[in-house]
């Protein structure tokens, strides 16, 4: 898999109605501890464990 394709899969867009998100790495047993983030309007959040980026779409 190319680096660009990998980067694209590490981005998750969330609803504009969402104000909190949870990331657990997405790999069940192979993931990381669940962490919660507050995401405000027109903001993006990056998980400090797996670097997955969450972008709030309005």
Burial 35-47 (b: 16+ CB within 10 A, else e): eeeebeeeeebeb
What pLDDT, in 10s, does the model give residues 21-57?
A: 999 998 878 889 999 999 988 799 999 999 999 999 8
* CATH number, position 40: 2.60.260.40
For 54, the enclosing helix (H) or strand (E) is strand 53-56
Task: Write out the residue range of the structural domain in which residue 20 sits.
Answer: 3-56
* Domains held by the chain: number: 1
The answer to whether the predicted template modeling score (pTM) of the entire model surpasses 0.85 is: no
Q: What is the pLDDT of residue 52?
A: 95
């Amino acid at each position: 898999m190319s680096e660009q394709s990998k980067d694209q899969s590490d981005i998750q867009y969330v609803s504009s109605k969402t104000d909190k998100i949870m990331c657990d790495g997405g790999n069940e047993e192979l993931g990381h501890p669940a962490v919660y983030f507050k995401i405000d309007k027109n903001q993006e959040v990056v998980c400090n464990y797996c670097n997955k980026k969450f972008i709030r779409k309005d």
